[in-house]
Amino acid sequence: MVTRDDLESFIARLESEGVHSREVEPGLWVLSQNADGPEVVVHYNPPVVVLRVKVMELSPQQEKADLFRHLLELNATDIVHGSYGIDGSNVVLSDTLELENLDFNEFQASYDSMMLALASHLATLAPYRQA
Instruction: For residue range 51-109, list pLDDT tens digits in order.
Output: 999 999 988 877 789 999 999 999 999 998 999 999 998 999 999 999 999 999 999 99
**Residue ranges of domains in the chain:** 4-128
pLDDT one-digit tens code per residue, 3-60: 999 999 999 999 999 999 999 999 999 999 987 889 999 999 999 999 999 999 988 8
Q: What is the CATH number of domain 4-128?
A: 3.30.1460.10
pTM: 0.92
Q: Answer whether 104's CB lies under 8 Å from 6's CB.
A: no
